[in-house]
Amino acid sequence: MKKAYLVTIIFFAAFSNVLTVQAQKKPNIIFILTDDQGYGDIGVFFQQQRQKSGNRSLPYELTPNLDKLAARGARFTQQYCNAPVCAPSRASLLTGVNQGNASVRDNQFDKEIENNHTIATVLKTAGYTTAAIGKWGLQGVKEDGPDWPAHPLKRGFDSFYGYMRHADGHEHYPAEGLYRGKKQVWDNYKNVAAGLDKCYTTDLWTSAAKKWITDYEKGEDANKPFLMYLAYDCPHAVIELPAKPYPAGGGLKGGLQWLGQPGHMINTAEGTIDSYMYPEYANATYDDDNDPKTPEKAWPETYKRYATATRRIDDAVDDIMQLLTDLKIDDNTLVVFTSDNGPSIESYLPASYVPNHPTFFGSYGPFDGIKRDCWEGGLRVPTIAAWNGHINAGKIINTPSMLSDWMATFADAAQIPVPARTDGVSLLPALTGKGKQQPGLVYSEYYESGKTPDFKEFEASRRGRKRDQMQMIRMGDLVGVRYAITSANDDFEIYNVVKDPKEVINLALKSGFEAIQAQMKTKVLQLRHADKEAPRPYDNVAIPASPAVGNIQPGLSWKFYQGNFPWVVSEQNLHADGKGVCSKLTVLKTENKAGLVCYEGFIKIPADGTYTFALQATGKAYLRLHEATLIDEDFGYLSGTELSQTLNLKAGLHPVKLYYLVSANTLPEIQLRLKPENSAWADVSDLGFYRAK
């Protein structure tokens, strides 16, 4: 590598940026994720509207405890999952990247989640103890037990208790395997399913969570904050019933309790499995023909089961909240509740119980679409956040956001910078009202060979609509949706989902929306990179250059952020200690001061074609082109190794952002090279950098 040109900088600011405001206590974090629970399944989001309507043809579910949680905290009305099916949705949540940059996409169940930053690795660095309980499904499919390459313990979690394989989550009695066969439950690397007789998984995961929290708060590490990822596998799929009523009370001495006795592991592991329904559902009736003069009919068995599964989760969340109060940690615990995607039509029950139609309760809310759809009903999720003393009671947050924003949010709450590869933004300003909320990116892509269901409640244009390659992007109040995509030139349907949440009026058919149509087609090419395991019809299309940028001048802008950062960090919430302009890609002589250099500008691509970028750094670095990850030399990077990436580009100016982590007592060196197809390598600096004045 050539010796880099050095620039000496005089710093006026003292060490200031890393782990600021240490006097503030870092909150415990409990992230509760349900499986296939629709936006409309929760009372405050939709079911209360049905209840208050008085219309007996509209049966409704009850979630009194989640409604209470929303009343004491905040409700997100416009939060989206990253993909409308569980594996990619959960992977994006855990890694903080959207589907345009993700390694788990489409229906890649059990695929190994990448060995990179996760919510757990980030918070461990901030001093947290981390635990995962419930459904995982991201472990890698080739090995078993301790050899799983992406076991939670190999992705930042200190402990794990739950289902490892995706399909195991389709059965809610692991020891009996009532409808889907016996399943394995793993306590770290040990299969403990043999002692779990009559353990309904919602109860099992909740009891395990309560035991972990209680033991932790009574242990020697109680002064350290904790992260718990509590991932339920209900109400998805088999829709089995609990064995008995939810135990009275809650918290430390009531509700669900861990007994630890094989064959009677928890206090609801008794009675008859798959038998208990909540009384308000067991004998429920409804006006099936919308005629009050005719006798009402009993709810079909499937929906009694579904409502019971939802209510069981509701009781479980309240049980955990009471435990936090009993342990006197409720004022310093941020609790988030949400779902991984929209509601499902899947039901693995005996034929007499099926099918499961989300239409019965309107589980998709005021939208069209279900699980595996990129309509709002498949992507909107019911998100609630509570943190006493920090989030005002009854707050409604209309900021568009995604599950992948929670990594940045938790890092912000933990007072640690988020990795630069993270696509999300911190939602802490929206939650607490402190600071300015930065806009985030709402984007999803997905492939499914089926069709949107032929529900009469859906708009005629999307009943039985072929899915195939799908894409969704949101810009302001406007959402662009494409189904059965064959090329990058396919038009988006465009809807104002604030005024038209059911996506009835396709604005793309009206005049005046030509510019936004073009912007959407351009944006979705610029914010993603191709993945050979999830091919798209637009993967090889040349990425458009930026439109006219205005006053462009030669040079590259840089800013220096002083600090002993644990990784290549994003500049979110950081204040620069130095800044300037350089004509070439330079590295900084920082007088033995560690920190981050962030270069930003444009590369001028001379002609349409295929280009290979190669980056080599002493230390660590990360490179974005537009909003897509181009080269990641951060987590696990071997210093001095050159990594490359090839892609197609249109001629013109393309924005780049290069992050470089500078270590004290190490001579920083970095080189970025570019090779056009059928041409020689050249230093990118020789092509010329440009910046907006």
Alpha helices in 115-192 (DSSP H): 119-125
Residues 11 and 32 in one domain: no
Residue 47 per-residue DSSP state: I
Mean pLDDT of 460-485: 97
Residue 532 within any structural domain of the chain: no
Give the pLDDT mean for 236-252: 95
Average pLDDT over residues 526-549: 94
Same domain, yes or no: 368 and 511: no
CATH number at residue 231: 3.40.720.10
Do 565 and 519 share a structural domain? no
Assigned domain for 481 exists: yes
CA distance 170 to 102: 25
* Structural domain ending residue among the three candidates 462, 494, 526: 526
Confidence of residue 269 (pLDDT cuts 50, 70, 90): very high
Residue 541: inside a domain:
no
Q: Region 2-25: what's the mean pLDDT?
A: 36
Q: Does 367 score more than 80 pLDDT?
A: yes
3-state helix, strand, coil in the chain (%, to 5): 20, 25, 55
Among 526, 555, 581, residue at a domain's last position: 526
- Both 180 and 307 in a single domain? yes
User: Is 95 within a domain?
Assistant: yes
Q: Give residue 146's pLDDT.
A: 80
Same domain, 339 and 226: yes
Which CATH number covers residue 633?
2.60.120.1560
Would the pLDDT of 10 be above 80? no
pLDDT interval class at 2 (50, 70, 90): very low
For residue 371 the two structure tokens come to 């699980």
Q: Is cis: bond before 355, omega within 30 of 0? A: yes
Higher pLDDT, 16 or 101: 101
- Residue 53 is assigned to a structural domain of this protein: yes
Cβ atoms of 237 and 348 within 8 Å: the answer is yes
User: Nearest CA to 427 among 382, 435, 119?
Assistant: 435
Pair 13, 66 in one domain = no
Q: If you average pLDDT over residues 569-579, what whole number do you get?
A: 92
Q: Give residue 24's pLDDT band: very low, low, confident or very high (50, 70, 90).
A: low
Mean pLDDT score, 392-396: 97
> Residue 45: pLDDT band by 50, 70, 90 thresholds?
very high
Question: Percent of the chain scored above 70 by pLDDT?
Answer: 96
Q: pLDDT higher for 69 or 592?
A: 69
**Residue 58 confidence (pLDDT):** 97
Quick one: average pLDDT of 392-400? 97
Across residues 51-72, what is the average pLDDT? 97
Could you tell me if residue 610 is inside a domain?
Answer: yes
Count Cα neighbours of 239 within 13 Å in the Cβ-side half-sphere.
27
Q: Does one domain contain both 393 and 468?
A: no
For residues 438 and 429, what is the distance between their CA atoms, to the nearest angstrom?
A: 8
CATH of residue 477's domain is 3.30.1120
Tell me the per-residue pLDDT of 621-634, one tens digit each, with 9 for 90 and over.
999 999 999 999 99
Same domain, 14 and 133: no
Closest to 389 measured CA to CA, from 334, 327, 319? 334
pLDDT of residue 660: 95
Q: What confidence category does residue 664 fall into, taking pLDDT thresholds of 50, 70 and 90?
A: confident
Q: Is residue 540 included in any domain, yes or no?
A: no
Regarding whether 141 and 218 lie in a shared domain, the answer is yes
- Look at the chain and report how many structural domains it folds into: 3
Q: What average pLDDT score do residues 316-344 get?
A: 97
Q: Is residue 289 part of a domain?
A: yes
Vertex 603 angle, CA 602 and 608, to 5°: 125
- Please tell me the predicted confidence (pLDDT) of residue 5: 31
Question: Looking at the structure, do residues 568 and 448 belong to the same domain, yes or no?
Answer: no
Instruction: State whether 36 and 11 are in the same domain.
Output: no
Q: Is the pLDDT of residue 498 over 80?
A: yes
434-453 per-position pLDDT tens digit: 999 999 999 999 999 999 99
- pLDDT of the residue at 479: 98
Higher pLDDT, 351 or 102: 102
Give per-residue pLDDT as tens, 404-427. Answer: 999 999 999 999 999 999 999 999
CA distance 564 to 207: 40
What angle separates helix 406-413 from helix 86-95, to the nearest 10 degrees?
30
pLDDT band at 477 (very low <50, low <70, confident <90, very high): very high
Q: Are 588 and 553 members of one domain?
A: yes
20-24, 30-34, 533-537, 592-596: the lowest-pLDDT one:
20-24
Which residue in this structure is represented by tokens 């940690």? 329
In this predicted structure, what is the pLDDT of residue 348? 83
- Site of tokens 């990795």: 419
Task: Answer for the pair 35, 172: CB distance below 8 angstroms, yes or no.
Answer: no
Amino acid 141: pLDDT: 82
Identify the pLDDT of residue 583.
Answer: 82
Q: What is the mean pLDDT of the chain?
A: 93
Which range marks the domain in which residue 334 is found?
28-416
| Res. 155: pLDDT tops 50 | yes
